[in-house]
Amino acid sequence: MNPFDRIAPLLFAAVLLETVLYGGFERGLLGQSPQCDPTKVMTTETCLRCHGNEVTQWKKTPHFETFENLAKNPRASEITDKLGLTSVKRNDICTQCHYTMQAEGDRIKPIAGVSCESCHGASKDWVNIHNDYGGPLATRDSESAAHRLERLDKSVGLGMRNTTNVYLIARNCLQCHTVPNEKLVNIGGHVAGSDSFELVAWSQGVVRHNFARTGATSNTESTPERLRVMYIAGLLADLEFSTRAVATATTKGTYGSTVAERAGRVSLRLFEIQQEIHDEHLERALIAFASAQLRTDNGQQLLAIADEIQQAGLAFAKNADGTELAAVDAWLPNPRNYK
Ligand code: HEC
Ligand code: HEC
Ligand code: HEC
Ligand code: HEC
């Protein structure tokens, strides 16, 4: 039997029947925090020394602006009031996703909005490794392709998220953009995730900062091959984090039903694509998800499935070049819709 015939009925059952969440009892599962380790945050001032163009571009984004604007937004005080919090900058709920925190002695303080390190990882351990072309005499032009990969892989080992595996970056986006916090959504009234989030459309507009790849001052568009990889990596990361989010749902309600529907919707899109591309990693993720029961009080199963999707996502995106994924072009967003 063709494996897709096997996945399809399971998947539809998981999506159409079991998105109905039933009320459960309180469970202690908490989402992981998207916050960087504050003791390893170096700040964008550090990056600025060598990445001036990237910093200039970043300053045009809502990620930068949220640092100044969030506290002034009346919606923010409505949310903090409902949660019984006094200020957006002085609680570890809002700061998890809206700010970058840095340790200063015993204190941890907000130093920026969603910064370079929020996406690329707190940099203390890798900042002096990731840019080493191979000794003081080596240059960008003298570096071999193999050395470049070795340097970037080594940096990943030290906590960096870079272009060698875009799934690492995509995971981060979705860890914030699925808003995996039930109380924040159901009691605080925070938006239940960015429902139109899609990695290509959301990273190729104002967020894009592709200067390094050409070593020039122009912000080059990503190649179609790269966009295909990003598109699928984004959907897989969405599936991973929507599944994680369902794992923490304790009641029916806006949060639980939104994240469950989201997981269902994303899995169907991936399933459609898989019928065209027949990718082994995508198949692994879909088979794992097909057994998911999207309901409350099922955290253990759902977290195990999310872990499996994560492994599939990492394997998919590792040094992927996208040349064989031309079929994905049919799903890519129109550049007019880039955020
Ligand atoms: C002393 C200079 C220097 C500093 C400081 C620096 N970088 Fe870099 N960075 C580089 C160089 C050089 C490269 C390699 C560019 C190339 O590919 O030729 C690079 C590449 C990168 C890449 C792309 C890696 C890839 O996947 O191709 C990222 C992401 C990055 N830096 C992030 C940061 C962040 C975040 C900071 C601040 C915490 C930072 N860098 C600080 C010099 C620096
Ligand atoms: C899990 C991550 C996460 C946490 C925690 C979080 N936010 Fe957000 N917040 C987001 C994301 C992502 C958006 C962007 C949503 C979009 O536009 O798609 C956002 C947008 C907002 C907005 C603008 C949208 C609107 O409703 O007007 C406000 C205000 C806001 N957050 C307030 C808060 C406050 C206050 C807290 C703390 C009580 C908080 N957030 C905690 C992720 C988070
Ligand atoms: C919202 C998340 C996000 C933020 C914030 C962010 N980046 Fe990136 N960065 C990305 C993504 C996504 C890519 C593209 C990855 C790819 O093509 O695989 C990228 C790529 C890069 C690259 C490689 C670009 C190239 O041409 O290959 C560099 C260098 C870089 N970022 C540095 C920075 C610096 C410095 C900052 C802060 C000023 C920063 N980034 C802020 C998500 C982010
Ligand atoms: C640490 C949490 C965090 C991470 C990581 C993150 N974001 Fe965001 N993002 C936010 C928050 C919070 C907002 C809303 C800011 C506000 O309105 O105050 C936002 C807003 C945005 C917006 C503007 C949305 C709009 O409607 O205008 C885009 C686009 C975006 N993010 C793309 C991305 C992409 C792409 C990635 C990954 C490459 C990413 N983000 C990673 C937290 C995050």
The ligand 4 atom at the shortest distance from the C-alpha of residue 96 is 1
- pLDDT value at 184 more than 90: yes
Report, as an integer, the average pLDDT of 294-311.
96
Residue to mutate (ligand 2; options 92, 97, 196, 238; most atoms within 8 A of CB)? 97
Atom number in ligand 3 closest to CA 169: 12
Does residue 14 carry a pLDDT above 70? no
Q: Band the pLDDT of 306: cuts 50, 70, 90.
A: very high
CA of 224 from ligand 1 middle (Å) equals 23
Does any ligand 1 atom lie closer than 6 A to the CB of residue 94? no
Residue 97, pLDDT > 70, answer yes
Q: Is 239 in the pocket of ligand 2 (CB under 6 A)?
A: no
Banded pLDDT at 29 (limits 50, 70, 90): very low
Q: How far apart are CA 276 and CA 298, in angstroms?
A: 32
CA distance 167 to 82: 35
**pLDDT class of 62 with cuts at 50, 70, 90:** very high
Q: Do 30 and 184 meet the contact criterion of CB atoms below 8 Å apart?
A: no
Ligand 3 near 118 CB (within 6 A) = yes
Structure tokens at 195: 């429902």
Res 25: pLDDT: 28
CA of 130 to the centre of ligand 1 (A): 6
User: Measured from the CA of 43, which atom of ligand 1 is nearest?
Assistant: 38
pLDDT, position 260 = 97
Question: What pLDDT is recorded for position 181?
Answer: 96
State if residue 152 touches ligand 1 by the CB under 6 angstroms criterion.
yes
pLDDT at 31: 39
What is the phi-psi region of residue 208: left when phi exceeds 0, alpha when psi lies from -120 to 50, beta otherwise?
Answer: beta
What mean pLDDT value characterizes the chain? 91
pLDDT tier for residue 28 given thresholds of 50, 70 and 90: very low
Tokens found for residue 188: 């605080």
CA 326 to chain centre: 24
Give mean pLDDT, residues 79-107: 95
Does ligand 3 have an atom closer than 6 angstroms to the CB of 166?
yes
Say what the pLDDT of residue 16 is.
43
Which ligand number lies closest to the CA of residue 177?
2
* Cα–Cα dist 249/193, whole Å: 14
Higher pLDDT, 100 or 13: 100
Q: How far is Cα of residue 289 from the mean position of the Cα atoms in its chain?
A: 18
- Band (8; pLDDT cuts 50, 70, 90): low
Name the pLDDT band for 21 (thresholds 50, 70, 90): very low
Give yes or no for residue 327 having a pLDDT over 90.
Answer: yes
Q: How far is the CA of 209 from the centre of ligand 3 (A)?
A: 6
Instruction: Give the Cα separation of 307 and 332 in Å (integer).
Output: 26
Lowest mean pLDDT, pick from 249-253, 265-269, 318-322: 318-322
pLDDT at 77: 96
181 close to ligand 2 (CB < 6 Angstrom)? yes
C-alpha separations of 276 from 106, 250, 269, 283, 328 in Å: 54, 37, 11, 12, 8
Pocket test for ligand 1, best of 43, 48, 51 (most atoms within 8 A of CB): 51
Distance 191 CA to ligand 2 centre (A): 7
- pLDDT of 27 > 80? The answer is no
